[in-house]
Structure 1
Amino acid sequence: MSNRNTALPQRVAVIGGGPAGLFAAERLCAAGLEVDLYEAKGSPGRKFLIAGKGGLNLTHSDPRPLFDSRYREQAAVVGSWLDDFDAQALRDWAAGFGVETYVGSSGRVFPVDRKAAPLLRGWVRRLKEQGVRLHANHRWIGWRDDGALRFETEDGAVEVHADATLLAMGGGSWPQLGSDGTWVSPLQARGVDIAPLQSANCGFDVDWTPFFAQRNAGAPLKPVVAHWIDLAGQPQSLQGECVASEYGIEGSLIYALAADLRETINRDGHAMLWLDLVPGRDEARLLADLSRPRKGRSFGEHLRRQAGLDAVKAALVFEILGKEAGNDLPAVAATLKRLPLRLLRPRPMAEVISTAGGVRLGALDDGL
């Protein structure tokens, strides 16, 4: 957003000290502009550091155009951005800080040391060396009528004039780290078209019985194949791993489906997800295996021996079919291949990895 026209060099205010703001400051400074970077918290990149606890997934190794297709209806637009800076360019950029990367078994790209702090330290140090001025503990609260930027600081309100402003304040997840979504109101007041912020890359609530939740929270479900109906009404499936939690279900497989599941809940009030607990066997073989004599063993032990189920998968069968599940082997075999879960709601934004929504792409020009 341009506030006024002045002679070069122009002063640009970048608001937000996450990766987007740091990248913006880097590019603007390299273009010869004066850059002031404002961060609401005491230091930049706090959510970036949290991501480092999970190994810091920087990007993905999918080839293009498959990579582009992950962005669904915006694939063409995002593809044009990737033409300028793609996954390999990001890996090369990280290497410039001495941070080498590798491709994991999932295709995701991580730093070799799986840490965020070394990369962040080098990044911030280089920005300062390039002349970027960092202002910590400056929480942006909007504009004055004359276009001045208004900040809350530890010493009270501060007003700043800049020739242009770049907003990079994230969504609404993990608000304690800075991205609390409070920027929505001042932008809406200026007529900017904004989609509501919603949870993304999130788990979902399932109405487990207390018995199941207490005994199985945190247990991994792997491997499983998820089946669901997408927003176009088409059946979809994906193999991966997820986790039974106290509130429902989460994990990388669920995060990959989260957009479809969330929007289905928005439309219908719930979403159905079916899990194939035994991907390597078909229903007929499972029925034949389960029909073998139990020889006095409990049905849970029979499931372990004949269907290869671990404790949490067996518990899911009983959760869905009840404690007398062993009396109906055809129903058990069918459930093992398509165990139904009714998802009630996505987890709250405050605890999820990221958020959907924000300024609509149609409200921005090609330069964003």
Structure 2
Amino acid sequence: MSNATSSSKQVNYDLFKRERPYLTDEHEMFRISLRKFLEKEAVPYIEKWEEDKYTPRELYEKLGANGFLCPQVKPEYGGLGLDFGFNVVFTEELYKVGVGTLASTSCSIIVPYLERFGTEEQKKKFLPKCVSGEITTAVAMTEPGIGSDLANMNTTAVRDGDHYILNGQKTFISNGINAGLFFVAVKTDPKATPARKGISIILVEDDTPGFSRGRKLKKLGQHSTDTVELIFEDARVPVANLLGEEGQGFYYLMDRLQQERLLIATNALTVAEEMLKSTITYVKERQAFGKPISSFQNTQFEIAEMATELSLAQTFLDDLTSKHLKGENIVTQISMAKWFITEMTRKMSARCLQLHGGYGFMEEYPIARRYRDVAVMPIYGGTTEIMKNIIAKNLGL
């Protein structure tokens, strides 16, 4: 067996260093400040939040009070007006410690719908509260038995004077307990042809009459992020809460999917980096048969393969992020990145756990939680199969 790597050597993390021209000194200063905040306000409590299956709203409020939330929001609405690179840094640091979904999804995926399609009145009412942490958001698309087939959703919104009357049910709603503002996809014209032209998005506030939360769902992983059902029983919502125009909801959702899927790929890559780093450290320290398991050829080959896949994914994703910042339409390539990187990360979680041996199955080692948490990444935001359909379609197949 090869013994090219000695346990006496320091772990070489140069591979994880990336030259990213789209990130400046200002971005790195933001990263350092956020990292210090999370080390104090999140890291010591993650295990408790996992046990409680809930991350308290106080974390979100503290993020807002320290100026970390929604960095892209324009100053006239209480934000800093910063570029998408700050959202990238924000989501990376959150996912490094394992509390990503709560704040990252709200700030970088959902709030941009309001920024792009909201009325001036809606922006003035809600955006400052999103920036301050007073409210957090959730998007409600998926319904029981529907999955990715949004065009056939059953939740309806019927016009009644100055209000819409909403009836229906949503499921798999991340951040559903904490959220104070829900972006709900509904059918405003059930007879529209094609069906997607009858979909609208309505902003539903937490205290809306007729709106309630259903079950808090039990999940395989991502325990500290709550996921619930939403129920609408003659819920009365002001017409002023319609996002954009009636019948355009499906197209609004599609418009923002490029950024959403880019961030999901970013999240997955961040977790992959953390898993591989911790595994390299572990195999150099763990002894078996009188020597570190990093000296075994199989271990070296496994690490070498994962490091290569990671490096290729880094290069691809960094190129796409640069293009997205320039406003380029790269839906096909981002679909490739979303499915490839999330699947790579899911497979890597099993390989890293295997290298931990029996200890990888113990909750005291972070790989156990990572293994559970990444299982859903190839599913949410568009399944791997949907991504391949998009790629095939855009290739003219």
In which range does the TM-score fall when normalised by the shorter chain? under 0.3
RCO (CA 8 Å, sep 6+): is it higher in 1 or 2? 1
TM-score normalised by length of structure 2: 0.25
Which protein shows a greater Rg? 1
After TM superposition, the score normalised by the length of structure 1 is 0.26
More strand, by proportion: 1
Give 1 or 2: higher helix fraction: 2
